[in-house]
Chain A
Amino acid sequence: MYWNQDLETIDRPALERLQLSRLRAALERSVRAPFYRTFFETHRVDIDTITTLEHLRDLPFTTKADLRTSYPDGMMAVPRRDVVRLHASSGTTGKSTVIFYTQKDISEWADLIARSMVATGATPDDVFQNMMGYGLFTGGLGLHYGAERLGCLVIPSSSGNSLKQLQLMQDFQATIMHITPSYALHLVEIIKENGVDPHDLTVKKAYLGAEPYTEATRKKLEELWGMDAYNSYGLSEMNGPGVSFECVHKNGMHVWEDFYIIEIIDPDTGAVLPDGAEGELVLTHVNREAMPMFRYRTRDLTRIIPEPCPCGRTHRRIERIKGRTDDMFIIGGVNIFPSQIEAVLMAIPEVGNNYQIVLERDGSLDKVHVKVELYSKMFHGDMKELQTLRKKITEIVRSTIIVNPVIELMEPGSLPPSQGKAVRVIDNREQR
């Protein structure tokens, strides 16, 4: 079953011709954005010389930092009156990264979601309960529009309020839910506590996203709920969800290559790797009007599955994301970069050069422990002073990352040094 059979089963040469013509158009549009004019100039790129897909490699990479420096609208490539929506990434403090959409962008995004849902066997008869957050986050609204496009009855229940979720699920006989893996684990327990056997519910499918999770957790959720769970990958920079999705075979996620050009690179050298090799996923959005993005470094590690999928779709699959090339971590839904913590720690005179972040799971709660070395010269042998210092560091770090940290004062020299490959983040949380 396909949403758009011609495009989903298009032969590779035709797909590549489509990619190239769309890429050309995107490059020409992009120079209307101040960011890209400067970007191409600085890197001495003449976009007219990009006449084949291989030439894409002549373009420099774009990164999250480019999104920050172009904030608020340096990457907007259409007049503002043509922009109908913005979304912003789940950041902490400081500048968030903002993505713009025209009416056409929103419509095409919905189409990609509808295509993804059909690939999992969804039909207009399905009742879709969307338990992702609505708002600046792309997860809620992205799937919402796509499920409507497909023709499902959409329950925009958003996240939280478990008893209400259960009631909606029962009263309107939800068949598909969109949910984070951690909430799915939590909700199934609430349902059982309320005397309901999850297997008696009408839910038959779940789209899991927004958090890393393992294959074991998928299996566990499928058993607990009595359903099929599908892996989904997307990022706000590339619209949000709907970049890639598993089909009924549940063996890797099809990347919709008529919209996205995939490259896998060596994260250290930037060299493009052959299909099948593991590396960093780099994506180019060839169709977005409001905000083109070329060779965006996702920092996510995966590999392309070169073999064709039995479903008949010619769009290649990527494997479940294995990790990240930077050390970003997620605590309670908040993306945190160690560099944010480092910046504030290094401004505290009593703190030495080294620090370490240890993530622990305490029941269902994640805790951030920050180990900091005391700077010898700032030690005056006073216990009260140390306690005050610890409180001060806790407050400073909390105001930066929003999450309440546990600060541990360490002896000088007890942590691995900053130079070389210091392990900054140790994740002791068991993968769900």
Chain B
Amino acid sequence: MPHQVSVFAENKPGKIERITKVLSANGVNIRAITISDSGDYGIIKLLLDRPAEGCELLAKEGIAATLKDIVAVKMKDAPGGLHGIASILSANSINVEDAYGFMVKSHEDAVFVFQVTSPQKAEKILKDEGLTILTDKELYFL
């Protein structure tokens, strides 16, 4: 199962810079980043090519970072691509807690990444519907 790194950060200038400095110095590549903010603090979510290592590097710097299980599912970079996935999740009453998507190859492939309470179950349901679930290696080195 793939992981992303979630980082606790105060909502202040220089916070992303501190994180990217550590990662860049150690040659860890950021594949995607999102930030959810709650006023004076937020959570920065990073999709890294080496998440376990990246997380450890950040923790060593005293940064509150943790690994989170995620589900990554391949979709068409075309209208309705996400709708197909969302319909399946909805039909199975799976609530998406946090999500983002990114394009892999223009007008061909895209990836939908999300967090749910039981990722194994979500992976299985999507797989059974014929969708391609990305393994950690596949996702990190897309």
**A411 on interface, CB distance cutoff 8 Å:** yes
Which residue from A381, A387, A412 sits with its C-beta under 8 Å from B62? Answer: A412
Cα-based distance from A386 to B42 in the complex (angstroms):
9
- Among B21-29, B33-41, B122-130, the stretch in contact with A: B33-41
**Which residues of chain B have C-beta atoms less than 8 A from A192's C-beta?**
none
Q: Is the CB of A383 within 8 A of B43?
A: yes
**Which residues of chain B have C-beta atoms less than 8 A from A383's C-beta?**
36, 38, 42-43, 98
**A170 on interface, CB distance cutoff 8 Å:** no
Interface string of B42-71 (1 = CB under 8 A from A): 110100000000000001001111101000
**Which residues of chain A have C-beta atoms less than 8 A from B8's C-beta?**
374, 379, 381, 386, 409, 411
**Which residues of chain A have C-beta atoms less than 8 A from B64's C-beta?**
374, 376, 379, 411-412
Nearest residue in A to B10 (C-beta to C-beta)? A411
A381-B66, A386-B38, A387-B38 known; A414-B10 Cβ under 8 A: yes
Interface string of A367-388 (1 = CB under 8 A from B): 0000000101001111100110
Cα-based distance from A374 to B6 in the complex (angstroms):
14
Interface string of B13-27 (1 = CB under 8 A from A): 001000000000000
Cα-based distance from A413 to B32 in the complex (angstroms):
27
**A408 on interface, CB distance cutoff 8 Å:** yes
Nearest residue in A to B37 (C-beta to C-beta)? A383
Interface string of A163-176 (1 = CB under 8 A from B): 00000000000000
Closest CB of chain B to A147's CB: distance in Å? 50
Cα-based distance from A376 to B62 in the complex (angstroms):
8
**A410 on interface, CB distance cutoff 8 Å:** yes
**B9 on interface, CB distance cutoff 8 Å:** yes
Cα-based distance from A408 to B40 in the complex (angstroms):
7
Closest CB of chain A to B97's CB: distance in Å? 8
**Which residues of chain B have C-beta atoms less than 8 A from A409's C-beta?**
8, 10, 40-41
**Which residues of chain B have C-beta atoms less than 8 A from A413's C-beta?**
62
Interface string of B77-121 (1 = CB under 8 A from A): 000000000000000000000100000000000000000000000
Cα-based distance from A409 to B64 in the complex (angstroms):
12
**Which residues of chain A have C-beta atoms less than 8 A from B59's C-beta?**
376
Closest CB of chain B to A372's CB: distance in Å? 11
Cα-based distance from A408 to B41 in the complex (angstroms):
8
**Which residues of chain B have C-beta atoms less than 8 A from A374's C-beta?**
8, 64
Cα-based distance from A382 to B9 in the complex (angstroms):
12
Cα-based distance from A135 to B122 in the complex (angstroms):
65
Q: Is the CB of A412 within 8 A of B66?
A: no
Closest CB of chain B to A417's CB: distance in Å? 12
Q: Is the CB of B43 within 8 A of A411?
A: no
Closest CB of chain A to B34's CB: distance in Å? 12
Residue from A374, A376, A386 with most neighbouring chain B CB atoms (10 Å): A376
**Which residues of chain B have C-beta atoms less than 8 A from A380's C-beta?**
6, 66, 68
**Which residues of chain A have C-beta atoms less than 8 A from B41's C-beta?**
386, 408-410
Cα-based distance from A411 to B66 in the complex (angstroms):
13
Closest CB of chain B to A415's CB: distance in Å? 11
Cα-based distance from A380 to B15 in the complex (angstroms):
19
Q: Is the CB of B68 within 8 A of A410?
A: no
Chain A residues 371 to 429 lying within 8 A of chain B, measured CB to CB, are 374, 376, 379-383, 386-387, 408-414
Closest CB of chain B to A407's CB: distance in Å? 10
Chain A contact residues, CB within 8 Å of chain B = 374, 376, 379-383, 386-387, 408-414
Ordered by A's residue number, 6 sampled pairs between the chains whose C-beta atoms are within 8 Å are A376-B65, A381-B6, A408-B40, A410-B10, A411-B64, A413-B62
Given contacts A386-B41, A409-B10, list 13 more A-B pairs with CB under 8 A. Answer: A376-B59, A376-B63, A376-B64, A380-B6, A381-B6, A383-B38, A383-B43, A386-B8, A387-B38, A411-B8, A411-B10, A411-B63, A412-B63
